Amino acid sequence: MYAAMHLAGDLVSRMLPAYGAIAAGFCVGRLSGRDWIRHLSSLLMYVLIPLVVFKNALALNFGAAIGNVALSMAFSTVMVLCAALIVPRCKTDVPRRLAFCAFSYTNIGWFGVPTGLALFGPDSLPILVMAYVGGLIFGNTVGFYCVARDRFSVRTSLWKVATTPALYAFGAGLAGQALGLRDLLPPGSEAPFRVVTLLMSGCGMMVVGLGASQVRFTAAAIRGTLNLVIWRHVASVGAIAAVIGLFALVGAPVATENLDTVRLLGLLPVAGNVVVFAAQLRSDVAAASLIVALSTAVSTLSVLCWGVFLHGA
């Protein structure tokens, strides 16, 4: 019992900074009349996210770990298919294709990594980092396209994806790796990138809070979005199980000792970058923020229960 309580306390303490950033963004949004969300989302879209993507691409190891990138992208793909079945049947004000993005883009960065470390220790980090890279690639391509399609034509949406800074940052990182740039970096070069990663996570959660400050918290809006979120979480548990089974079927099974870490992907919330995309594309920021906030709350409870169960077992 003590061990389970200690685990729960560890999980909560690791999540508190992100919740604090959301609360700070919410307060700023309610108290200030300025359009902070537009400025902050631009900082994320054009500076912080590309820098983090560049660093991850530069550090990417094209070995066995690359399978976790593929697994993450396969999971997101299955979730898009789930969204196509579920979203049209849910009564919600969330724009349809924005909901598709929310289904498929998972918050691994600030939620998955801390919870993985709390539940499974540092051995889970390489898997989650590679899954995070896969999520970034998928989110900044398919996810961004989905949000764009709520307002723009296919051609315009594809053009917006093609001009996404994160894609060029990823390509630059791979090119730098091919040219040996990774080996030329001085030993202390990791520190600035860690700061940028923390800034990206903090600003991303502040954007969620800023967006949530625009939400009209009516019972109907919350009920409809919560229904969508619950269905998303049910689908994600089934989707990650299906992907694990698929990889085993094609001869690339997930190692037994890594199964629980991979299963964690099915319990993670909607990525905060969905709100960034909505702000940049002038989609429904309030709806995006509400779905991220509710999803985060549901995931927190789910991960806490699962963690206590695993620890007790």
Tell me the per-residue pLDDT of 17-60, one tens digit each, with 9 for 90 and over.
Answer: 878 888 888 898 888 767 788 888 999 999 998 988 888 888 77
Give per-residue pLDDT as tens, 91-131: 888 899 999 999 999 998 878 888 888 888 888 888 888 88
Say what the pLDDT of residue 5 is: 65
Task: Give mean pLDDT, residues 198-213.
Answer: 85
What backbone torsions phi and psi does residue 256 show, to the nearest 5 degrees?
Answer: -55, -40
Of 150 and 308, the one with more pLDDT: 150
With cut-offs at 50, 70 and 90, classify the pLDDT of residue 152: very high
Return contacts of 180-186, CB within 8 angstroms, 24+ apart.
Answer: 181/58, 182/58, 182/59
Dihedral sign from CA coordinates of 239, 115, 22, 166? negative
Collapsed DSSP state (helix, strand, coil) of residue 106 = strand
Say what the pLDDT of residue 312 is: 64
CA distance 52 to 50: 5
Average pLDDT score over the chain: 87
Instruction: Choose among 228, 277, 252: nearest CA to 96.
Output: 228
Give per-residue pLDDT as tens, 161-185: 999 998 899 889 889 888 888 777 7
DSSP state of 257: G
With cut-offs at 50, 70 and 90, classify the pLDDT of residue 62: low
Half-sphere exposure at residue 250, Cβ-oriented, CA atoms within 13 angstroms: 9
Say what the pLDDT of residue 313 is: 53
CA distance 67 to 271: 21
Which amino acid, 113?
V
In the chain, which ranges are continuous DSSP H helix? 2-31, 36-43, 49-59, 66-86, 96-104, 113-120, 125-138, 144-149, 154-162, 165-178, 181-184, 190-212, 219-249, 259-263, 273-280, 285-312
Say what the pLDDT of residue 63 is: 65
With cut-offs at 50, 70 and 90, classify the pLDDT of residue 248: very high
Give the percent of the chain with pLDDT over 90.
Answer: 39
CA distance 313 to 212: 38
Collapsed DSSP state (helix, strand, coil) of residue 270 = strand
Half-sphere exposure at residue 226, Cβ-oriented, CA atoms within 13 angstroms: 9
Conformation bin of residue 121: beta by default, left when phi > 0, alpha when psi is -120 to 50? left
Evaluate if residue 65 carries a pLDDT over 80: no
Task: Give mean pLDDT, residues 234-240.
Answer: 96
With cut-offs at 50, 70 and 90, classify the pLDDT of residue 8: low
Kindly state the tokens that stand for 291.
Answer: 């779905």
Q: What count of residues does the chain have?
A: 313
Evaluate if residue 232 carries a pLDDT over 70: yes
With cut-offs at 50, 70 and 90, classify the pLDDT of residue 214: confident
Give per-residue pLDDT as tens, 136-149: 889 999 999 999 99
Say what the pLDDT of residue 264 is: 93
Say what the pLDDT of residue 6 is: 67
Say what the pLDDT of residue 60 is: 73
CA distance 189 to 177: 15
C-beta of residue 98 within 8 angstroms of C-beta of residue 146: yes
Evaluate if residue 299 carries a pLDDT over 70: yes
The whole-model pTM stands at 0.88
What backbone torsions phi and psi does residue 106 show, to the nearest 5 degrees?
Answer: -105, 145
Say what the pLDDT of residue 123 is: 86
CA distance 256 to 87: 33
